[in-house]
Structure 1
Amino acid sequence: MARKRNFKKGNKKTFGARDDSNAQKNWTELQKENEKWEKYYKDLGVIPDAEWDEFKKTCQAQLPLTFRITGSRKHAHEVLSMFEEHHLPYLTGCEFEGEAIAPPKKLPWYPENLAWQLDVSKQVIRKNEQFSKVQRFLVAENAVGNISRQEAVSMIPPLVLDVKPEHTVLDMCAAPGSKTAQLIEALHANCDEPTGYVVANDADHRRSHMLVHQLKRLNSANLMVVNHDAQFFPRIKTDKDSNQFLKFDRVLCDVPCSGDGTMRKNVNVWRDWGTGSGLGLHTVQLNILKRGLNLLKQGGRLVYSTCSMNPIENEAVVAAALRHWGVKIKLVDCAELLPGLVRSKGIDNWPVIDKNYIKREKGDEGTHETWFPPTSEESAAFNLDRCIRVYPHQQNTGGFFITVFEKVNSESNEVSKRATTEEPKEESVVEKKQKTEGGVAATATVTEPVSVKKEKLPRDANEEPFVFLSPDHPELKKCWSFYGIDDKFDKSCCLVRNATGEPTRVIYYVSPCLKDVIEANEDRLKFIYSGVKLFVSQRSDIECSWRIQNESLQIMKHHMNSNRVVDVNIDCFKLLLTESFPKFEDLEKSHIDDNFLNKMKSLSAGCAFVSVDRGEEKEELFLPMWNGSKCANLMVSKESTQELLHRLFGDEVAVQQAAAAAERKAAANLAAAESKTEEGESSSVNEVPKEPATSDDQNM
């Protein structure tokens, strides 16, 4: 079993977060050398001799800054244009201390030029004025979710998973959440109300709450976060009145790993790396993969990935799954996917080296058969060369391994030399746990297929109840009438999260496709989060005390009538961004937008909405507004206000304020996380901590 390491989880920082000076000093003192690592990979032969020096030098070098632009297509391209027009020209031909600085470059394999890489040091970013200006821009856009800081290779698995708006998607090991965010974005691509959804799972309770924090800003009603050991992920009932269980269209298994592909940022890997980690994790990884394949629909696609270069964690796991499932699964040929990505093929032969660095043979005591490479006959059938290996020196990234599985349709006439013809049945959760010691299974082979025996969750497993409201509830009926909500909106999908089951302060909304799942699985799933805020109680002395939250506006704007929607010109909108509660009498004197003023004065007090038409090429802005008797106020967060002022009006002071606020917030979060770690909090025994082995996020 791989040993647990005391990595402080506060090391995950957002844009602009400052590194702890003492930690940074200790990092620089670590020697980036490991004789066993070097011998292992030289003997393995995956890196040609002519490339070895470049490979090792790249592994020892600092990881470049990479980011991707998120959001809807119009919105994303507007942020991209801002970067390309207002920042990129000034980053070409720059010098620092007499040396030329490489300009940012787009990742050629990422769709629509929406991902970029900066091959510069942190010192340059902090001290060069042009790069410092770009950093402030990235901080402001990251704070509102328009940009995601993510390692380049971490972006690959969600892309090759090929998620569509109608798909049901399971992310089995989701924290910290950058890949999950990509899955949600794909689900919502050009579609505010997709019919599919994402179930994001993590084994560690605290990390699952961190996951919520990362994903809430995407404002998706099609997301559910749960907390289970991925090896034993429960079957999900499709509805409470049937005995049908959900099979997913897409499954992502980005499993815990030894993480030598992350050694450019997690420098402790140089000191701690040994062959024992990969051997110990192998069975956990295989169990998660097999569970994911069990939950995959026929014709569905599963991506297995690690940030490790070790074949014991990669091809050996893939081969064991192919051996177990036979003709029911196959590897997808990804050669034509992501053109521009430099990659290597998977391998089908490797030595098994134990933790004492002794070569072991199949059948030796203390070994698992699944560690060893396939036979020549299996190799011909498995097509392990279809796996993707990305090495750091190929395009200045981290190391990564990606494999795409497809569950073959039962009607398929595909012929295979593999013998298994029946889909393996699921074991009971109890039997699986009996085969484990400390979270690592004693064997990777399923010996006795049995039907699943359901273990009921304790009554207090879900911290907050999910109680759906009747669409005829008096408080909801007020909202339907006040906002003119049409009948196309599913009014039965509103819920509260309190013990009384009554709407007291907040009413949430989940997508209709998730409602049945939540109601049918209260005793099966450990719910952490689902739903976006729809209505929040504001005041009781007005016609409707419930205001619609900004989180749900992308949905609700399609279902409300125009009675409380007010058009505003761009000059008046700027005033609303810069001035809180502008008085109607002042607006009347300025004549900045008489149509806006007249419409606002005609409305009753309460929540209204402003619409800013910016032309066909740019995204329409649709935001909530509070209408009072003598004044109005735009209900937008401070971060969003600063970002809009910068993006729409070029306000540099606003972006500086946003960067400073984000840095203070990140520092506070870091201090809180480190405090909790020092108090003795640790990851679940059943799953090796994934933070030292994740490439989702990067340190600044």
Structure 2
Amino acid sequence: MARKRNFKKGNKKTFGARDDSNAQKNWTELQKENEKWEKYYKELGVIPEDQWDEFKKTCQAQLPLTFRITGSRKHAHEVLSLFEEQHLPNLTNCEFEGEVIKAPTRLPWYPENLAWQLDVSKQVIRKNEQFSKVQRFLVVENAVGNISRQEAVSMIPPIVLDVQPEHAVLDMCAAPGSKTAQLIEALHANEDEPSGFVVANDADHRRSHMLVHQLKRLNSANLVVVNHDAQFFPRVKTDKDSNQFLKFDRVLCDVPCSGDGTMRKNVNVWRDWCTGSGLGLHTVQLNILKRGLNLLKKGGKLVYSTCSMNPIENEAVVAGALRHFGDKIKLLDCQDKLPGLVRSQGISNWPVFDKNYVKKEKGDEGTHETWFPPTSEEAEMFSLDRCIRVYPHQQNTGGFFITVFEKIDGDSDEKPKRAGTEEPKEGLVPEKKQKTETGVAAPAPVKKEKLPRDANEEPFVFLDPKHPELEKCWSFYGIDDKFDKSSCLVRNAAGEPTRVIYYASSSLRNIIEANDDRLKLIYSGVKLFVSQRSDIECSWRIQNEALQIMKHHMNQTRVADVNLECLKMLLMESFPRFEDMENSHIDDNFLSKMKSLSAGCAFVNVNRGEDKESLFMPLWNGSKCVNLMVCKENTQELLHRLFGDEAALKQAAAAKESQKVAASKVEETPIPAAEEAIPTTEN
């Protein structure tokens, strides 16, 4: 996928040097032309002549706002109902400056009606009261992780990959993380504790840390983030005491590309696009795809995708992999998948132009054989028409390319190699190459005896389940033996629980312990226990992000059932006193339970019926008062979702806007008017 444009510090001319808004508008529109791009795609012939004007006009137009609702099935459908019942009716037959505005529409191909598109301008969203109200809803729900603002076509690859809870999944080029989030959600679709896991990799160290920031809100113990060049992703041992290597059930290769499918939101593509970009990236893309197929198990699926429309980056790469692996792999026909998605078939013939737009033939000096289309015999065998092409004008989206592979023969187990070098010995890691858009050649290998580790990166050390501090927690919270107590870890050189104890799924524990000398680990595990006061029975409190797991393993000793009236009081009041609660008679059973417990972390459970998600939240139980331990953003979202508190929604949206403004001032980064208070769209 193409890298999002960076607004660098001090770049004051990003949105035009003059203050005049019309001049800025004209400057932007001027960039939405590229003679070579237009000539190339007309000659390519993938867009019918009678559709060209519509195609180009759509590429020049603003991208609509799209989002998907996330979370467990009950939770997601509750947020969907809130949108459909409280917001959607007000957006139907809505007018702005005398014209009827198009109401939001479902993406018909996205499962369970959980993705939506708003074909309105940012001006309408900012100035129309009804759309402004929806904007606040989207901002707040995005902040707490209930929705993800994501480009529509970017949602396709994880859906066709078909991830199940038991799958081992590799995302080879994961940043910024929107597709990775979909993979994790699929893993947890119906299970809080799936047996599978997701390995999210990115070549760029900075972007791998950004990936952590994006994915932490999913609170998954089944995620590990690593930092490797995807072309040379290392073989992963399944266990420290064996010499078996992991094969993945699912692999996503959403590779770096020239990104002309993103030109609706990235005006720089219009200026920078040339035929040389695709040619330069082709080898890197093919190397990543081949490495992904090597890591795929027999019967597994791999999705190769780009946000480019250029066949040199798409069908040519796919054909190169099919040629390399022969009958060990095949393309799957996905025409029956995603009903409602307007798409075009892949192509088997295309011209090749060099960076100076000179047409080349196979065998010409300076060319690669895999740039060129397959022979007629190969074309019949490869079935490249099974590839999916989505063009911007077909349903008002960006452009995208998607192909699904299946591994027929799992015997191939090639180790990653750099061209012209000896095969790296096991445990020796070549220097990583950052994810780029320019297709620069891979650097010469630099062999290192140990994996590089930044000064602020600590090791992953798993604790003995009988460690005295853990034993306190097991007893205090009544943790059952079904919970994997050997999967608790700390991240400090001493290997002792001092401040935070994390939890990673048992399947990931084996991977982490067996590959300390192979994988550059960036992140794994959710916060399980955090140390607080030392003057109480148990100083460790269970963190919010681990509750979806821990609620299944605790007895009811420190759990109290509460009614909705009591929950509302706990959300609205900080540290309500027992005395005041007793006088108000809000929930006598809850009050009695709290008085009977020792000081420390406890929990409230709100049973809302079979059709709605039960709520399970931590609180602090003191000697004279209690306090619900839910962050302000979540508190305001719950007040709005459960009790219709519109004021809470406004406060939360205003707080997010203030945070954005403050962050932009610190970074000296200009914020375009078109993106104010709108969550960022990711590819």
Q: TM-score, normalised by structure 2?
A: 0.92
Structure-1 separation of matches of 2:3 and 2:264: 20
User: 1:363, 1:435 → 2: CA distance?
Assistant: 32
Q: 2:573 aligns with which of 571, 579, 582?
A: 579
1:486 corresponds to which residue?
Answer: 480
Q: Is 1:698 equivalent to 2:661 in the alignment? A: no
What displacement does 1:541 show? 0.5
CA distance in 2: counterparts of 1:577 and 1:436, whole angstroms:
48
1:240 and 1:521 in contact (8 A); partners too? yes
User: Where in structure 2 are the equivalents of 1:632-643 lying within 5 Å?
Assistant: 632-643=626-637
Could you give the per-residue CA deviations for residues 86-119 of structure 1, whole angstroms, max 9, x where no partner exists?
A: 0000001011111111000000000000000000
Does the 8 A contact of 1:468 with 1:496 survive in 2?
yes
Q: CA RMSD in A?
A: 2.6
Out of 511, 515, 520, the residue aligned to residue 517 of structure 1 is: 511
- Is residue 10 of structure 2 the alignment partner of residue 8 of structure 1? no
Contact 1:177 1:215 in 2 (8 A): yes
Partner secondary structure for residue 238 of structure 2:
coil
Aligned-partner Cα distance in 1 for 2:637–2:525: 25
Deviation by residue 1:602-645 (Cα, 9 ceiling, x = unmatched): 01100000001111111000000100000000000111001000
1:139 aligned partner, one-letter code: V
Q: 1:233 to 1:589 in 2, by over 3 A?
A: same
Structure 1 position 436, deviation (Å): 11
Per-residue deviation at 1:666? Answer: 3.0
Of 548, 559, 565, the residue aligned with 2:542 is: 548
Change beyond 3 A, Cα 1:431–1:437: farther
Q: Is the CA contact 1:168–1:196 (under 8 Å) kept in the aligned structure 2?
A: yes
Separation of aligned partners in 2, 1:606 and 1:436? 47
State the partner residue of 1:267: 267
Q: Deviations over 1:260-318 (max 9, x none)?
A: 00000001111111101001010110111111111111110000000000000000000
Separation in structure 1 between the aligned mates of residue 2 and residue 608 of structure 2, nearest angstrom: 56
Relative to structure 2, which stretch is displaced further, 583-592 or 424-433? Answer: 424-433
User: Residue in 2 aligned with 1:47?
Assistant: 47
Among 20, 27, 30, the residue aligned to 1:29 = 27
Structure 1 residue 484: Cα displacement:
0.4
Distance 2:40 2:334 in 1: 27
**Residue 423 (structure 1) shift:** 3.2
Instruction: Please say if 1:217 is aligned against 2:238.
Output: no
TM-score (norm: length of structure 1): 0.89
Is the CA contact (8 Å cut-off) linking 1:435 and 1:441 kept in structure 2? Answer: no
| 1:699 shift after superposition | 8.2
Task: Please name the residue that 1:686 is paired with.
Answer: none
1: CA distance between counterparts of 2:433 and 2:75? 49
Gaps of 5+ in 2: 425-429, 671-678
Looking at structure 2, the residues matched to 6 and 250 of structure 1 have their Cα atoms a distance apart, in angstroms, of: 30
Cα distance in 2 between the residues matched to 1:229 and 1:20: 36
Q: Percent identity?
A: 78
SS of residue paired to 1:160: helix
Q: 2:624 aligns with which of 621, 630, 640?
A: 630
Inter-partner Cα distance in structure 1 for 2:378 and 2:431: 27
Q: Look up the equivalent residue of 1:464 and give its one-letter code.
A: E
* Residue 425 of structure 1, aligned match among 397, 403, 414: 414
3-state DSSP of counterpart to 1:78: helix
Q: Is the 8 A contact 2:16 2:24 kept in 1?
A: no
Question: 2-side partners of 1:97 and 1:490: how far apart?
Answer: 60
Distance 1:146 1:20, change over 3 A: farther
Paired residue for 1:115?
A: 115
Q: Cα gap change, 1:436/1:586 in structure 2, threshold over 3 Å: closer, same or farther?
A: closer
Per the alignment, residue 676 of structure 2 pairs with none
CA gap 1:567/1:6 in 2 versus in 1, 3 angstroms? closer
Aligned to 2:164: 164
Give 1:473 shift. 0.5
Distance 1:505 1:27 in 2: 52
The residue matched to 2:323 in structure 1 has which SS? helix
How far, CA to CA, are the matches of 2:635 and 2:332 in structure 1?
A: 45
- Correspondence 1:660 to 2:668: no
Q: Residue 574 of structure 2: SS of its match in structure 1?
A: coil
Q: Within 2, Cα distance between the matches of 1:630 and 1:85?
A: 41
Indicate the residue corresponding to 1:332 in structure 2. Answer: 332
Does the C-alpha gap of structure 1 residues 205 and 28 become closer, same or farther in structure 2, counting only changes over 3 Å?
farther
Q: 1:398-417, aligned counterparts within 5 Å?
A: 398-409=398-409
Q: Does 1:191 align with 2:203?
A: no
**Matched AA of 1:559:** H
CA displacement, residues 233-285 of structure 1 (integer Å, 9 cap, x when unaligned)? 11111111111111100000000000000000001111111101001010110
Secondary structure class of the residue paired with 1:87: helix
Q: C-alpha separation between the residues in 1 aligned to 2:405 and 2:453?
A: 37
Does structure 2 retain, via aligned residues, the 8 Å contact 1:435–1:442? no
CA distance in 1, matches of 2:335, 2:122: 35
Please report how far the alpha carbon of residue 426 of structure 1 lies from its aligned counterpart in structure 2 after TM superposition.
Answer: 2.5
| 2:558 alignment partner in structure 1 | 564
For structure 1, the 5+ residue unaligned runs are 12-18, 411-421, 444-452, 677-695
Distance in 2 between the 1:627 and 1:428 partners? 58
The one-letter code sitting in structure 2 at the alignment partner of 1:169 is V
Provide the C-alpha distance between the structure 2 equivalents of 1:52 and 1:455, rounded to a whole number of angstroms.
55
2:645 is matched with which residue: 644, 648, 651?
A: 651
Change (3 A) 1:180 1:166: same
Q: Given that residues 193 and 555 in structure 1 are in contact (C-alpha distance below 8 angstroms), is that contact kept between their aligned partners in structure 2?
A: yes
How far did residue 441 of structure 1 move? 8.2
8 A Cα contact 1:10 1:671, kept in partner:
no
Q: What is the alpha-carbon distance in structure 2 between the residues aligned to residue 139 and residue 185 of structure 1? A: 20
| 2: CA distance, partners of 1:359 / 1:436 | 34
Task: Give runs of aligned pairs for residues 336-347 of structure 1, distance below 5 A.
Answer: 336-347=336-347
The amino acid across from 1:397 in the alignment is T
**C-alpha displacement of 1:665:** 2.5
1:691 matched to which residue of 2? Answer: none
> Is contact 1:109-1:338 (8 Å) kept?
yes
**AA partner of residue 97 (structure 1):** E
Per the alignment, residue 71 of structure 2 pairs with 71
Of 663-672 and 101-110, more deviation after overlay is shown by: 663-672
For residues 658 and 4 of structure 1, what CA distance do their matches in structure 2 show? 30
Which amino acid letter does the alignment assign opposite residue 74 of structure 2?
K
Q: Is the 8 A contact 2:281 2:440 kept in 1?
A: no
Partner Cα separation in structure 2 for residue 150 and residue 397 of structure 1: 11
Aligned to 1:295: 295
What is the match of residue 258 of structure 2? 258
Contact 1:325 1:424 in 2 (8 A): no
Q: Secondary structure at the match of 1:572?
A: helix
Q: 1:424 to 1:465 in 2, by over 3 A?
A: closer
- Conservation of the 8 A alpha-carbon contact between 2:280 and 2:440: no
Taking a change above 3 Å as real, the CA distance of residues 28 and 609 of structure 1, as seen in their structure-2 partners, is farther
**Mapped contact 1:484–1:561 kept (Cα < 8 A):** yes
Residue 7 of structure 1 deviates from its aligned partner by 3.4
**Higher relative CO (CA 8 A, sep ≥ 6), structure 1 or 2?**
1
Question: Is the partner of 2:483 in helix, strand or coil?
Answer: coil
Q: Distance in 1 between matches of 2:449 and 2:330?
A: 32
- CA drift at 1:566: 0.3
Letter of the 1:483 partner, please give it.
Y
**Counterpart residue type for residue 425 of structure 1:** E
State the distance in 2 between where 1:20 and 1:584 align.
60
The corresponding residue for 2:468 is 474
Contact kept, 8 Å, 1:478 with 1:544, in 2: the verdict is yes
In the aligned structure 2, how far is the partner of 1:75 from the partner of 1:234? 38
2:78 equivalent to 1:89: no
SS at match of 1:356: coil
